[in-house]
Structure 1
Amino acid sequence: MHIRILGAAAGGGFPQWNCNCPNCGGVRRGELNARPRTQSSIAIRGADETAWTLVNASPDILAQLQANPQLQPGRAYRDTGIRNIVLTDSQIDHTTGLLMLREATKPWPLWCTDNAFADLTTSNPILQVLQRYCGIDRQRIVTGEWFAVGGNEDLRWQAFALPGKPPPYSPRPPELGDVIGLIVEDVSTEMRLCYAPGVANIDSWLFELMSSAQCVLVDGTFWTDDEMLRLGVAHKRAADMGHLSQTGGMIQWLDRLPATTRRVLIHINNTNPILVEDSPERALLNQHSIEVAYDGMEIVL
C-alpha cells in the first residue's frame, strides 16, 4: 500500500493567503525554516500503480495533481490515475476540489456517508452541480462496514465515526458520523493505515483502533487548545473546532501506541509552531518519534 500526501495543511493552507501570523509572515519573507503546504488531502493505491483513490478533494487539488505526476499516467488525451474519491466529511476544505475535477470523461465513483451526501446535495449542492458535468456515481459509506473501491481490490476500507460537527453552512444539528476516520488494510499483508485528519478527542475504543494500524496519520491541527485565541486570529479554541491539540492530549495518546507504529501528524494549521522545522515544538515531537506530514511525503506499508 502506497500513501501519497498531496496536502498536509489545514484549511487555508500554509501560508494562508490573508494571514500574517508569525508563521505565515515568516515563511512568506523567507525568514523561517519551514516549507509551504497545501490543504489536506491524500491519495492511496495498492499494487496497481495507475489506480489511486483520492481521499478528500482539497481546494488546492489542481496544484496537487501538477506536483504529483504519479497521478497522471498519460495513457490517452484525457486520462487520470484517480479511480475513486472517498470523503471523510462535507467540509469546504475537503470538497471544493470536486468542482475542479468536472472535466472527467465518466462519472466519478464517490464514497461518502449519508450525512455528507445530504450536505453536498442541499445546503452546498456540489454533487448536483457535478451531475451536470461529468456525473457522480455515489457509493454509500456505512460506518463499521468494510468496503472495496474499484481498481484497488487488494485494499479494503472501513470507516469509523468520530466526534465532530457538520460544516458551518449545514443546518443539521451535530451527530455522530458527521466526521469519519478510515482504516485501510492491504489484504495480502494485513498492513493497516489509520487516517483521521479531524479528531476531537480519543477514548479507549478509538485508541484500540489506532493501535491496530502500522501507521497512524492523525489530526495535527493545533499545538495548544488556545492557539488561535492567543494570536487573536479567532475566537474559538481547538476543542470548539473539533480538534485535539498536541499539548492537550494528542502527544500522550500517540506515546501509548506500540513502539513499531509510525505516527504522523497531518491537517496542520498555519499557526502551529511545529511547521517550523527547527522550533522547540518540532524538537519535542522528534523526541516522541512523531513525524509532521509535508506535501509530497510518501508512506509505504
Structure 2
Amino acid sequence: MKIHVLGSAAGGGFPQWNCNCPHCAACRNDHPDYQPRTQSSIAVSANQTDWVLFNASPDILQQLKAFKTLQPARALRDTAIQAIFLMDAQIDHTTGLYMLREHRQPLPIWCHPLVRDDLVTGNPLFKVLSHYCGVDWHEVPLTPTGFDMATVPGLHFAALPLISNAPPYSPHRDQPQPGDNVGVTLTDTATGKTLFYAPGLGAMEPHVWQAMQSADCVLVDGTLWSDDEMIALGASAKTSRSMGHMPQSGPGGMLEWLDRLPAHTRKILIHINNTNPILNAQSPQRQELTRRGVEVCFDGMDIDL
C-alpha cells in the first residue's frame, strides 16, 4: 500500500493568506526552517494504478499537478482517482470537489449519510455539482466488518466514528453525532499491512485506541501543539479541544497516547495548523517529536506499507 500526502496543513494552509503570526511570516519570507504546506489530503493505492482520494481540499488542483501519478494520460480525459472518501463535511475537506466538476462521469463519493446531508442542505455542494458532473454517492457504514470499493482493488476499509465537531453550517454543530467525523483503517489485503487515518480527532475513545494499537502506521491529528495555542496568540478565543482537535502536548494530549503505541508503530502527524510551532524544523517542540519517534507530514511525502 502506498500513501501519498497531497497536503499536510490544516484549513487555510501554510502560510495562511491573511496571517502574520511568526510562523506564517517566516515561511512567507522563505525562512529555511519552514516548508509551505497545502490543506490536508492523501491519496492511497494498493496497485499504484487505482487510487482513492481522501478529502478534496481547496488546493486540489495544485496538489494534482504536483503528483503526476494521478494523471496517467491513457485517454483525452483521464484520472487515476477511482473514488473520493470524505472524512467529514468541513469546507477545507470538500471545496475541492468543485474543482473536479469537469469529470466526465458523476464523481464517485463515499461518505457517511450525515456528511451527505450537510453537503445537500447546510452547504449544498452536492446540489451544485448536479449541474455539472453530478455525484455518485456511496454510504460509508460504521460497522466493524468494513467494506470494499470495487474500483479500488486490494484495499479494505473500516470506518469508525470520532468525537470532533461538525461544520458551522451543520445542525450538529457543537453537538456532534456518530458519523459527522470518521476515522478509517485501511488494510492492504495482499500484505495485511494497515493504516489508521484520522486528520480530525477531538478525544480518545476505546474503539479509536484499539484501532490505533492495531495499525502498522497511524496518520493522525496534529492541528495544535497546546490546548490554548490560538488564545495565547490572540488568533481565536477557542481551545484546541473545543474545535474538535486533541492538542499534542499536556495531560491526555496526543503525544501521551502515541507514546503508548507498540514500538513498531509508525507515528505521523497531519493537518497541522499555521500557528503550531512544530512547523519550525528547529523548534524545541519539533525536537521533542523527534525524540519521541513522531514524524511531521509534509506535502509530497510517500508512506509505503
TM-score normalised by the chain length of structure 2? 0.96
Please report the RMSD computed on the Cα atoms of aligned residues, expressed in angstroms: 1.0
| Large movers: runs of 4+ above 4 Å | none
For residues 177-234 of structure 1, the C-alpha deviation after alignment (integer angstroms, 9 at most, x for no partner) is 2110010001111100000001111133321110110000000000000000000011
Matching residue of 1:267: 271
Contact 2:161 2:183 in 1 (8 A): yes
Higher mean alpha-carbon deviation, 210-219 vs 139-148, is at 139-148
Alignment of 1:45-56 (within 5 A): 45-47=45-47, 49-56=48-55
State how far apart, in whole Å, the 2-side matches of 1:110 and 1:31 are.
Answer: 39
Rounded Cα–Cα distance in structure 1 between residues aligned with 2:53 and 2:124: 20
Structure 2 equivalent of residue 189 of structure 1: 191
Give me the whole-angstrom Cα distance separating, in 2, the residues matched to 1:31 and 1:185.
39
Q: CA deviation at 1:284?
A: 0.4
Letter in structure 2 aligned against 1:116: V
**Using the alignment, how far apart are the partners of 1:209 and 1:106 within structure 2?**
35
Aligned match of 1:296: 300
Asked if 1:25 is matched to 2:25, the reply is yes
Matched position secondary structure for 2:285: helix
Structure 1 unaligned blocks of 5 or more = none
Counterpart of 1:213, as a letter, is A
The yes-or-no answer on 1:39 pairing with 2:39 is yes
Range 69-78 or range 288-297, more displaced: 69-78
1:258 to 262, 274, 296: 262
- Report the counterpart of residue 224 of structure 1 in structure 2: 226
SS at match of 2:249: helix
1:152 corresponding residue in structure 2:
152
The one-letter code matched in structure 1 to 2:46 is G
Equivalent position SS for 1:169: coil
Partner of 1:76: 75
Alpha-carbon contact 1:157-1:185 (below 8 Å) kept:
yes
Amino acid at match of 1:238: S
SS at match of 1:277: coil
**1:95 matches 2:94:** yes
Aligned to 2:280: 276
Work out whether residues 164 and 175 of structure 1, in 8 Å CA contact, stay in contact via their aligned partners in 2: no
Quote the Cα distance in structure 2 between the aligned partners of 1:116 and 1:238: 22
Matched-pair contact (CA < 8 Å) for 1:7–1:40: yes
Aligned-pair distance for 1:148?
A: 1.2
The one-letter amino acid of 1:281's match is Q
- Per-residue CA deviations over 1:54-94 (Å, capped at 9, x if unaligned) read 00000000000011001110111111111110000000010
Structure 2 residue 109 is matched with structure 1 residue 110? yes
Q: CA deviation at 1:32?
A: 4.8
Asked if the contact 2:9–2:271 (Cα under 8 Å) also holds between the matched residues in 1, the reply is: yes
Aligned to 1:127: 126
Structure 1 residue 114, shift from structure 2 partner: 0.8
Classify the secondary structure of the residue corresponding to 2:117.
helix
Kindly provide the amino acid, as one letter, of the partner of residue 278 in structure 1: Q
C-alpha separation between the residues in 1 aligned to 2:249 and 2:135? 41
Partners of 1:31 and 1:10 in 2: CA distance: 20
SS in 2 for 1:247: coil
Q: Distance in 2 between matches of 1:200 and 1:171?
A: 19
| SS in structure 2 at match of 1:246 | coil
Task: Give the CA deviation at 1:166.
Answer: 1.3
Q: Identical aligned pairs, as a percentage?
A: 52
Other-structure match for 1:204:
206
Mapping 1:3-18, distance limit 5 Å: 3-18=3-18
The CA deviation at 1:135 is 1.4
Tell me which of 231, 246, 249 is aligned to 1:247. 249
Alpha-carbon distance in 1 for matches of 2:58, 2:198: 19
Given the two structures, how large is their TM-score scaled by the length of structure 1?
0.98
CA contact (8 A) 2:201 2:245 kept: yes
Q: Following TM superposition, by how much is the alpha carbon of 1:30 offset from its aligned partner in structure 2, in angstroms?
A: 2.1
